[in-house]
Chains A and B, each alone.
Chain A
Amino acid sequence: MLDWFDAYTGTVLNGLALAAVLFVIAVGLSLVFGTMDVLNLAHGSVSLVGAYVGVAMVGDSASIAAFVAAVLVASAIGLVLGGVLAAMTAKVSGHLRQALLTLGVALIAGDVLAEVFGSDVKRVRAPEGLDGSTEVLGTPYPVYRLVMVGVGLAVAVLLYLVLERTRLGAIVRATVADRDMVEAVGIRTTLVLGGVFAGGAALAAAGGLLAAPVLGAQPGLDDTILLLALVVIVIGGLGSLRGALLGAVLVGQVQVLGVALLPELASFMLFGAMGLVLLLRPAGLLPAPGRRA
């Protein structure tokens, strides 16, 4: 038993580290869908922008302070991009047209990033002091990944507090459950929605930068991240924080443990798992209260 733990601790931790960044990236997509019913296929591109901010500001080496500064810059840029996307999708109704619009934006963004940064894979180093290894249950393990898990947890707790304990959070939850009612009470839901969009995008960009020391930055990563985020929020349940967290943990573990335990079936596990969950629980595992499937 202990042997198994020894062998697989690292794997499980990797799954949690991946889950952490997936959560940070995907929660915005989920909340945007929950509040605005908008399908934003440009979400992966926003993450990639965050990763490239890391390339530009951090690149080969940076102190912790510089890294944090880069995260803040990425979040700010994400905030702006989110606002722009919110404005663009405001008058566009229907998931298909939103898909057309946001995918168009994603295609443009992808080419622009490739033009500016080149199509090589770019490396972002973990900040100095956090780029070493430490012992976890006897085997070396990168410190930075533990940091990822920590940051993911912190973001989850923070979001929980905001959503459950503040007035703003209550408004957002109410908008997810019943938008017309909130409008009727006199609150400008367009501002709420714009804010959610911008906040979600900020998280996506920050998440992209956080993941960069592991995933790197290169063209095509936006597609990968988008697909993973979609799987996370669909499995977890659209519009819900806890759903995004559960979805992220599940996806992280499937990706990592699945590969370790059943290598031949590794490629099929993720989408097979998603298909299975959807067929049994179409609304996801922890959908937001008040939402229909």
Chain B
Amino acid sequence: MRIRPSIVKQLGRRASLVPAAVAVALVLASCGGSSVSGGGDDDGGGGDEGAALDPVKIGLLVPLSGVYAALGEDMQQGFQLYLDENDGKLGGAEVEVVEADEGESPGTGVPAATRLVTQDQVDAVAGIVSSAVALGVKDLFVESKVPLVVANAGANDVTAGGSPYIWRSSFTNGGVAAALGAYVAEQVGDGSVYLISADYAAGAESTGGFKETFEAAGGTIAGEAFTPFGTTTDWQPYLQGIRASGASAVYTFYAGAEAVGFTTQYNQFGLKGEIPLYAAGFLTEGGVLEASGEAALGIQNSLHYSDQIDSERNNAFVEAYVAAYDEVPTTYAVQAYDAAAALGLAIEAAGATDSESIAQGLSEVGEIDSPRGTFSFDENHDPVQPYYLREVQEVDGVLANVVLQELEQ
């Protein structure tokens, strides 16, 4: 059926108004007061010292789309599990979770965080996978005086300045790597180690952290390489360089697709049997381990968690997680689970659910009993925690990170 041009023109004419109308409607729909009157921060929870706590509104800022969405899903699950285990409450207060999509980059993450704080007016926020996003939103939380518990982003600078509103339940890039330094120095003895990572802040901080403790323990560095971040698909030239350097071992940091590519090619180009590979645990965590397959077998790595940790607390946690989600928990899930725990303990300590009280409560939390062991916050509000030496092995037909020992720090 041929559509008459005039009808198309009429439709088109009206269609031209639609985007304008939609934009205006959306904008007016969120009409709710003026943006030029001072301070507008009105949060629901009052400072009740009485028995009944006001409900608390928590923003969960994790990637729901883009390359990190899988991590975001793990974090959602971890956070939710804690709530389910505690009757949907944090510190005895009813919880309303508001989710926002961090996306892949600050372009989406910063507006999402802004919406949580200014529009949804949450009492606290947990989450954030990307360090770039964390750095971009830091000022927002400090200036709006809303506590943020970072549940992944590892850039050292995120907690710099020690603001009472910025806390981290995950790790620092340098910390995970530093744990391996002394151990590897012992393993290679007189030999040297080659450092390779991606050319971005996380890569630099990780290799930097390793280098510090490794050299302090008497080790020598054979060489360093940084591959273009996000675009490298071919490691062969770098692997060639590693061979040529005469290193007796390699330390690496990669995450996501690059981790899969590097691990696979390390194997394919024949280095795996020859030169032992040590890594920050993200190289063999979660979906990345599955995708790398047997190429990852035998890689020794450090991380603050493994689902194979044999403790009562962890076994119970893993069982509950598997029952709820039909998959084994990753460190991302635990980090979010512990963020919820920290918030719960903070609310309990403060006896109130407004932002200021939660921030105060977080500083009184003390030790947290986590599936990873016990941890607490240091003066920068980063976790002081055990790091485990893990090795990829086949357990019951599935690849897993078996815990060999706890690393001395």
Contacts and interface: CB of A to CB of B under 8 A. Distances in A.
Interface of A: 7-8, 10-11, 14, 18, 60, 114, 118-123, 125, 133, 139-142, 214-216, 218-220, 224, 255-256, 259-260, 263, 266-267
A215 B240 contact: no
B16 interface: no
A121 B260 contact: yes
B66 interface: yes
B261 interface: yes
Given A10-B269, A133-B268, A267-B228, 9 more contacts: A118-B69, A120-B287, A123-B260, A123-B292, A125-B293, A133-B270, A141-B269, A214-B233, A216-B291
A139 B270 CA distance: 8
Contact of B237 (A119, A123, A260): A260
Contact of A118 (B70, B234, B257): B70
Given A121-B287, A216-B261, A7 B244 contact: yes
Contacts of A219: 66-67
Contacts of A263: 225-226
Top 5 nearest A-B pairs (CB, nearest first) are: A140-B270, A260-B237, A119-B69, A123-B291, A120-B287
A133 B227 CA distance: 24
A215 B233 CA distance: 7
B90 interface: no
Given A11-B240, A267-B228, A119 B269 contact: no
A119 B244 contact: no
Interface in B52-108: 65-70
A139 B241 CA distance: 13
Contact of A255 (B234, B257, B270): B234
A56 to B, nearest CB: 15
B228 A266 contact: yes
Contacts of A224: 231
B9 to A, nearest CB: 16
Contacts of A122: 291
A139 B82 CA distance: 51
Contacts of B245: none
A142 B228 contact: no
Nearest to B63: A119
A218 B257 contact: yes
B257 A10 contact: no
B144 interface: no
A216 B234 contact: no
A119 B129 CA distance: 15
A66 B236 CA distance: 28
Contacts of A255: 234
Nearest to B259: A121
A191 to B, nearest CB: 22
B361 interface: no
Of listed B70, B232, B233, residue having the most chain A CB within 10 A: B233
B362 interface: no
Given A121-B260, A214-B233, A267-B231, A114 B240 contact: no
A215 B260 CA distance: 10
Contact of A18 (B66, B234, B269): B234
A114 B290 CA distance: 18
Contacts of B116: none
B256 interface: yes
Nearest to A211: B233
A256 B237 contact: yes
Nearest to A61: B293
Contacts of B176: none
A27 B261 CA distance: 26
B67 A119 contact: yes
Contacts of A114: 65, 69
Contacts of B270: 133, 139-140
Contacts of B291: 120-123, 216
B288 interface: yes
Given A123-B291, A216-B257, A259 B233 contact: no
Contacts of B260: 121, 123, 216
B269 A256 contact: no
A260 B240 contact: yes
B269 A133 contact: yes
Interface string B218-250: 000000011110011110110010001000000
B234 A14 contact: yes
Contact of B236 (A11, A121, A218): A11
